[in-house]
Structure formats: C-alpha cells, structure tokens
C-alpha cells in the first residue's frame, strides 16, 4: 500500500488526477468537502464507469447501486477506514485535506487523514501548507508537489464600473453580497449569486448562469473558494475580513489565495485585486500578502484539529469526556467545541436525557445530536430542534405520516429569498433525517420526497435570485455594443416587438423604433445604440412585407399603417393628383425597401382615387380649347366645389346655350338650384374626396337622400328646413313639382303662372323628407303652397292634396321658361328665390 500526498495551489489538476487514479483501480472512494463537488465528480465517473458501478453518498442523498465499486462521498459520509460493502477498497483519496485545520470540521478531516486507507493506494490532496503535517504524521508518505497551470497576478483596486467581464466579486456578508449584486444589475445587467446558505442545486444553477455567459459577473461569499470550477478571469475582494463564528478577523494569506485562485483556469492566466468605491473603506492587500498569493508561499499548518473518532458510549458523561479528551500524538490539538458537541452538552442535562442509559441509547442520542445545523442557527436554537427530534426517536422510528407531514409543510415555493433559504435549510435537515434507515420508516420514499421538495424550493430560489439580481436585457445590450454584436440574434415579433435573444428592447410603431417604456433612464442609451445596429435589416424586411401585403388606411389626407403615419397628401398640380409626402421614419429604411413601400403606396393611392375620375375629366376639360372662357369659368368653379356648386354662384347667366351640350357630355347637370356632377355624389367618390383630404367638410359615408340639418353640411347636400337633402334628390323633387304644374296648366303658358295645381307629397315622404321641410324646399324654387293640411304626418288616412302656385323670380331671364321635359335648365333659373 502506498500513501501519496499531492500538494499544490488551486488549478493544479489534483482532483482530476485522483479521479483518473481511482478509475484505474478495481474499486475506490474519494471524500470531498462539499456535497455539490461530490455530485459533480459522481457525474464524471458515471460517464466513465456506468451508473451501476458508481455510488453517491452524502448526508442528504444516497445513490448506492447494488455492487457499486466506486464511491463519491462527502468526507463525513466516506468509509472511515477505507472499507466498502465487499471489503477494503483498492483506492482512497481525501480532497482538500488542509481542512484538517478548520475549527468546525477539521477533526473529521484529521481522522480520515490519519486512518482512512486504500488497499493499494491512498492519495491525500491539499494545499502545500499541509506538507509539514504530512512529514510529521505520515513519515512514509510520498509527497508530490504540483505547480499551478496558470499565473496569478495582482491587479490593484478597481471600481465596480471598471471590472472586466468574467469577474468574481467576493464579499463576506449577505448584506454586502446583495448590495454589490444590485449595483451590478444596474450597471452591468446583473450577476449570479453564490452563498453558503444556498442549496447545492441553487448554487449549481447560479454557477450555470455565469458559466453560460448569460451574466458576466458572479458575486459570492468565500463559498466560492472551494469546490467550484469557474471560468473566472479576475477575482475582486469586496472585503478582507470575516466572522469565523467566534470573532471578526482578517483572512489569512492562504485563505486569500484559496479564493483568488479561482481566477485563471487551466492555461488561462488570472488576476486578483480589491473592489473600491462601494461605500466604506476600500480593502487593501499588504505587500507581503500579494507576494504570498502570487508565489504561493504560505505559513505551514502547525497542528491539525483532532477529536476522538471512536468515543465510548457507556454513558453520556463518558461520551462527553472522550469527545473533550486531548490528543496524545504530537502535531494534533483538541478541536474547538463544535455544534454537535455543544448540543450534546446542553441536552445531556435536560429531563429528556434521563432515560439515555444504555450504550445503544447513548449512541443513538449522540447520532441525533450530530444532525448538521443546516439552518446555521447556533447551538441553542439547533438544540431545541434536536430535542424535539429525540422525543420522537427515543421510542423507535419516526412514522412515515409524521415525516411526510413535516416535508409537506415546507413544500411552499412562495416567498422572498430569505424565506426560501430558510425552507431549504429546513428541508435539508429532513433530507438528512430521511436517509437514516434506523430513524425513518419507508426511508426511500421519504428521502425521495425530501429531495423533490428541495429541488422545487431550489428552483424557486434560483428564480428569485435571477429576478432580483439579473437584468437580462441590460446584459444582452452590453454584449450587443461589443465585438460579438453581430452574433446576437435580433428578431422582430409578429406584434412589432424588437427582441434580442428573446428579450424585448422596444417595439416598432410603423417604422419608428420606440424604446421599451419600462427601461430605466440609464438603459435607454444602450437600447437605442443596440437598435441602431439591428434596425436597418429589420426595417428592410418589414418594408418588403408591407409592400407585398399592403393594408393601410387613408383618412384626412394621412395614410396610416398600424396606427402610425406612413405618408401624407399635399396639394399637387391638380385637385385630383395630390403629392405624396412619405413620413420621416421611412428615411431609416434601406433604399430598396423604402422604394418598394413608396411604389406600393402610389399604386394603392391611385386605386383609392379612381372614383374621382369624373372630377379629373372636368378638370381636364378646363384645358380643352372647345370649352371657351364661359364654360371654362363654370368648370373651374365646379372643380373647386368638388362637383357641386349653387347655381347662383356658377355664373350660368353668362354661359352661351350652345356650350351646354358640351358640359352635359362631361356629366354636368344644370339643376333648378344647383349645378352638379351626379357621378361625384356617389358614396365612393365623396369618400375618396374626404379621405384624401381634398374635401374637408363632414362626410356622409352612404350619402342617404335626407339627413338631419347641421351647422356645417356634408358635401353634396343643401338645407331644407330642419333637414338637409342631397342636391340630386332636391332636383328630382323640384322637377316633379314642375311636371305637376305643366300637366295642370295644359298648353296655356300664360295661365300656368296663375293657375293653382295639386302636388302629392308621397315622393318627398318616400325619400325621408318631412312635409314641412318639403314645403320649404319647394319654396326655395319659387313654389308657394295655397292651402296646407294641419294634420300631423302620422295621422290616419291619406291627406288631401294641397294647392300650389308658382311664380318665377324677377331675377330670371325675360325669356319664357320651358317645360323641364323639353329644356332641363329653363325652370332652373329660379335658384335662390324664396316665397314668404
């Protein structure tokens, strides 16, 4: 059997060597200082040897296949004398053996250091400070010193804003860890958080957050100094003192080096320094400490802590005496009173310990007192928990229902970080309890339940830590402004959100980028800078998509897309040819996409203005030499009125009769009260005029025959008392009145002026025009009612026809008016006349 001590600083490959050596033997075990490190190595050995050959044994978890030959354990759970289920193991290794000098756990490491041996090979892994103890206590051991793979240099003090990426910041209180993590979240997007109070699962998830590159910083307590292999380039100390359970003291150079050694892994060099500008006095290394850390030269261990590993269980007094006994071997000192011994001494004087008399009861009582204080609550509080546990254990096993109920009480993933940490510590206690077959009935089931609850609580705690200390968007933006910006996936969601690695940084309103309103003031500049790099491609893609599926709205001369202005219409060379002015935001689109959008807009606008073709013909006719000056003047007035003009404003008295056929061919109607183009009274034409902003009067979308009167009438209507009637409908009603007059007068034009005639209001009523308003409309055309019915409109029975008379206005030309059927404009000279 050979004993080999492999000593050296961090990053020397000691653990990797031990794994290789164990796998080269027929069987073996390695004891680790942390459960998470044991789990990490377990996964590596399983990959090499298979699940059936490898066991994981910790205080809270046991994976022990039948016939397992390789064991990954915590130091407390490893076979004490190197024996396995089927006899002595061929290989045994103890990792971080220098922890034999730790106040709380040192005596356990010392026992394994002195007594645990492999049948063929024993390997002790640790710091070079252990070398004198190896030579003194194990004189036959072979000592192998391994150099560090990379160099470690001092970088001085740096502000938080000056820390390089891939940095670890080490603090020594929860408050300081939180404060630094909060600042990193604000200025650098966040950080992973590692503390001793976290469960192994949570620590692993936080480390994975850092290792994956999602965050570039990790804030930790000195828990980072052991068992965590990280890709850290720089370690910054936020403090150099800590409370060790007894007093506040300065870290030893060896402890500083253990933490600083996390920087630089394998062949990558690392640096360490202090953090300045975070409030309070900035810590400073002495020259001697810097030299010791860089050169890996530390004061050797002068003694190892020892406690009787095999005490007698004759009585509680004998047990306590053995545990407090002094070592007889040089180089060993009695271990300080640990929590388990303090709990034992407190409970030994309690009434509950009076019946602890037999060796079996004393052993069982000591095992209960040895329950780890996962809550870190101190000896007094932990003793109360152990006392309650002993009351249930002293008469036998814990019932499955009782344990299940205690586990279920903790299965609540709600709460803040501190609350979840407390529940995880409590569930770890029950996971430890559930692993004991002599304590719990249905051990496997209860242990599985406890692990499941711990996993759920750990997931919840990881989520809370990430939510509080990681601003993923800021982290991504920091990357987007760096050299790797081109590698970041920038996408545009269907609802217009701009995403960087699925994290929203803003949204597009049309083609205008709007920063996320939830972003802080300090983030806005980064958001805009990130958007400037990604937007051209996104806008080009968005423009081509719009051009292929052009769905916009036109209102008041503004073309809108998705609620934002795409372009506006301004007066052009003609009334029906407005000038298209693209919105300023379109200038950010690459040339090809911008041209596609503008061409699509022009084509769409031409289609929207197609109903205005009659107005375009009227405008074109103003340039026709055949129109003459008189017809041109009327056409210009008609175009300015967008197809409708009052006859008294049309200047029709100057229009030669021979030009009227020319105008009728253009679709112009000479009415009694108005001159208009019927084609431009259609809903599509009026809507096009209104939406294009050419006619800004109110719009009647369906152009009904009659509307309620208003202060400003829609285009194409004229007032008729309390109602407004469309001009072509008004013309129809007036023509009907003249037809009735002509038929009642016979062929005598002279008598027609004085003869009374009857008018049936049915036509007017069918259009929706009230009778009194019909009377007022006809009065405007020169008609006068001689006898009016006083019955209301809704009276029963058909009303008797009223008697009417008509007299032309003196403003009418002296020539005698002709029948509307023969000359449509002869009676129209009556426009503007009102008989009172």
C-alpha dist (Å) from residue 792 to 201, 680, 724, 755:
89, 36, 20, 27
Do 211 and 107 sit in the same domain of this protein? no
Nearest residue to 726 via CA among 671, 771, 779 = 671
558's CB contacts (< 8 A; 6+ apart) are 565, 567, 568, 569, 693
Given 440, 469, 498, the domain boundary residue is 469
In a domain, 714, yes or no: no
* Residue 617: both structure tokens together: 């013909």
In this predicted structure, what is the pLDDT of residue 67? Answer: 87
Task: Read off φ and ψ for residue 213, nearest 5 degrees.
Answer: 85, 5
Helices (H), 481-590: 521-548
Given 444, 469, 494, the domain boundary residue is 469
What stretches of 584-643 adopt beta strand conformation (E)? none
In this predicted structure, what is the pLDDT of residue 541? Answer: 84
Distance from C-alpha of 770 to C-alpha of 757, rounded to nearest angstrom: 21
Nearest residue to 786 via CA among 745, 756, 749, 764 = 756
In a domain, 611, yes or no: no
What is the β-pairing status of strands 558-561 and 553-555? antiparallel
Do 400 and 379 sit in the same domain of this protein? yes
In a domain, 665, yes or no: no
C-alpha dist (Å) from residue 34 to 69, 169, 199, 208, 259:
21, 21, 11, 17, 16
Contact 302, 136 (CB under 8 A): no
Strand partners, 706: 725
Strand partners, 470: 190
In a domain, 460, yes or no: yes
DSSP conformation class of 349: T
Do 102 and 241 sit in the same domain of this protein? no
Nearest residue to 5 via CA among 309, 335, 301 = 301
Do 377 and 423 sit in the same domain of this protein? yes
Given 295, 328, 347, the domain boundary residue is 295
Q: Count Cβ atoms within 10 A of the Cβ of residue 375 and give its class: 0-12 exposed, 13-18 middle, 19 or more buried.
A: middle
In a domain, 70, yes or no: yes
- CA–chain centroid gap for 22, Å, is 47
Spans of the chain, pLDDT less than 50? 483-487, 747-754, 788, 790-791, 796, 809-836
Strand partners, 306: 334
In a domain, 614, yes or no: no
Do 181 and 83 sit in the same domain of this protein? no
Residues of the domain holding 456: 306-469
In this predicted structure, what is the pLDDT of residue 472? Answer: 64
In a domain, 821, yes or no: yes
In this predicted structure, what is the pLDDT of residue 480? Answer: 52
Q: Which residue has the tokens 């690392």?
A: 270
Do 241 and 321 sit in the same domain of this protein? no
- Please indicate, yes or no, whether the overall pTM of this predicted structure exceeds 0.85: no
Do 7 and 106 sit in the same domain of this protein? yes
Q: Return the CATH number at 62.
A: 3.40.50.300
**Total domains in the fold of the chain:** 5
3-state secondary structure of 708: strand
Do 465 and 479 sit in the same domain of this protein? no
Do 35 and 104 sit in the same domain of this protein? yes
In a domain, 706, yes or no: no
In this predicted structure, what is the pLDDT of residue 370? Answer: 92
C-alpha dist (Å) from residue 672 to 662, 682, 761:
19, 20, 19
Do 323 and 459 sit in the same domain of this protein? yes
Do 232 and 255 sit in the same domain of this protein? yes
235's CB contacts (< 8 A; 6+ apart) are 167, 168, 169, 170, 259, 260, 262, 263, 270, 271, 272, 273
Three-state secondary structure readout of 285-297: CCHHHHHHHHHCC
Do 406 and 456 sit in the same domain of this protein? yes
In this predicted structure, what is the pLDDT of residue 383? Answer: 93
């Amino acid at each position: 059997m050979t004993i080999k001590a492999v000593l050296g600083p961090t990053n020397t490959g000691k653990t990797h060597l031990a794994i290789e050596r164990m796998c080269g033997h027929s069987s073996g075990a390695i004891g680790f200082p942390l459960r998470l490190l044991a789990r990490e190595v377990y996964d590596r050995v399983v990959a090499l040897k298979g699940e059936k050959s490898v066991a994981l044994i910790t205080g809270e978890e046991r994976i022990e296949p039948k016939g397992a030959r390789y064991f990954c354990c915590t130091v407390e759970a490893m076979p004490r004398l190197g024996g396995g289920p089927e006899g002595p193991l061929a290989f045994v290794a103890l990792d971080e053996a220098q922890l034999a000098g730790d106040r709380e756990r040192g005596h356990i490491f010392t026992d394994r250091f002195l007594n645990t041996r492999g049948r063929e090979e024993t390997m002790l892994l640790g710091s070079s400070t252990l070398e004198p103890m190896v030579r003194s206590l194990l004189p036959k051991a072979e000592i192998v010193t391994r150099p560090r793979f990379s160099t470690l240099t001092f970088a001085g003090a740096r502000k938080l804003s000056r820390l390089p990426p891939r940095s670890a910041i080490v603090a020594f209180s929860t408050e300081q860890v939180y404060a630094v993590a909060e600042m990193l979240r604000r200025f650098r997007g966040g950080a992973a958080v590692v503390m001793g109070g976290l469960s192994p699962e949570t620590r692993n998830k936080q480390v994975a957050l850092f290792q994956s590159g999602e965050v570039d910083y990790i804030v930790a307590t000195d828990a980072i100094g052991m068992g965590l292999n990280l890709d850290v380039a720089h370690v910054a100390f936020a403090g150099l003192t800590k409370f060790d359970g007894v007093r506040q003291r300065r870290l030893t150079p060896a402890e500083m080096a253990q933490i600083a050694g996390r920087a630089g892994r394998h062949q990558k060099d690392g640096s360490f320094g202090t953090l300045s500008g975070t409030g309070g006095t900035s810590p400073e290394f002495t020259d001697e400490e810097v030299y010791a850390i860089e050169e890996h030269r530390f004061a050797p261990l002068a003694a190892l802590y020892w406690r009787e590993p095999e005490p007698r269980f004759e009585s509680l007094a004998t047990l306590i005496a053995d545990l407090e006994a002094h070592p007889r071997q040089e180089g060993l000192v009695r271990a300080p009173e640990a929590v388990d011994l303090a709990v034992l001494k407190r409970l030994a004087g309690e009434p509950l310990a009076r019946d602890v008399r037999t060796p079996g009861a004393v052993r069982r009582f000591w095992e209960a007192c040895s329950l780890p204080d996962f809550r870190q609550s101190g000896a007094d509080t932990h003793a109360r928990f152990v006392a309650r546990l002993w009351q249930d254990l002293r008469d036998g096993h814990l019932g499955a229902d009782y344990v299940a109920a205690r586990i279920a009480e903790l299965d609540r993933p709600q709460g803040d970080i501190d609350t979840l940490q407390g529940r995880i510590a409590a569930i770890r206690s029950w996971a430890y309890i559930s692993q004991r077959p002599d304590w719990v009935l249905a051990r496997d089931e209860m242990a599985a339940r406890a692990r499941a609850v711990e996993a759920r609580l750990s997931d919840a705690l990881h989520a809370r830590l990430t939510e509080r200390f990681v601003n993923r968007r800021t982290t991504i933006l920091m990357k987007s402004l760096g050299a790797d910006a081109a590698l970041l996936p920038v996408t545009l969601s269907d609802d217009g959100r701009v995403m960087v690695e699925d994290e929203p940084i803003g949204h597009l309103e049309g083609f205008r980028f709007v920063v996320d309103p939830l972003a802080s003031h300090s983030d806005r500049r980064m958001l805009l800078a990130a958007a400037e790099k990604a937007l051209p491609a996104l806008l080009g893609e968005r423009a081509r998509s719009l051009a292929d599926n052009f769905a916009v709205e036109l209102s008041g001369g503004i073309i809108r897309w998705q609620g934002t202005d795409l372009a506006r219409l301004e007066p052009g060379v003609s009334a029906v040819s407005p000038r298209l002015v693209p919105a300023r935001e379109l200038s950010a689109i690459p040339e090809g996409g911008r041209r596609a959008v503008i061409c699509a807009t022009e084509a769409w606008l031409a289609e929207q203005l197609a109903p205005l073709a009659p107005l375009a013909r009227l405008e074109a006719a103003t340039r026709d030499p055949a129109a003459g000056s008189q017809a041109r003047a009327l056409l210009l007035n008609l175009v300015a009125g967008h197809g409708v003009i009052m006859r008294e404003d049309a200047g029709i008295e100057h229009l030669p009769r021979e030009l009227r056929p020319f105008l009728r061919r253009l679709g112009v109607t000479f009415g009694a009260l108005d001159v208009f183009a019927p084609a431009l009274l259609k809903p599509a034409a009026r809507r096009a005029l209104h939406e294009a902003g050419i006619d800004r009067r109110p719009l009647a979308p369906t152009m009904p025959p009659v509307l309620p009167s208003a202060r400003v009438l829609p285009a194409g209507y004229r007032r008729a008392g309390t109602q407004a009637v469309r001009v072509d409908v008004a013309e129809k009603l007036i023509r009907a009145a003249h037809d009735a007059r002509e038929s009642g007068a016979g062929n005598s034009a002279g008598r027609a002026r004085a003869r009374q005639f009857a008018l049936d209001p049915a036509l007017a009523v069918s259009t929706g025009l009230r009778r009194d308003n019909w009377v007022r409309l006809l009065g405007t055309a020169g008609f006068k009612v001689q006898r009016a019915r006083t019955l209301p409109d809704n009276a029963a029975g058909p009303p008797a026809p009223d008697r009417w008379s008509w007299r032309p206005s003196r403003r009418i030309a002296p020539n005698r008016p002709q029948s509307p059927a023969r000359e449509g404009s002869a009676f129209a000279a009556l426009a503007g006349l009102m008989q009172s």
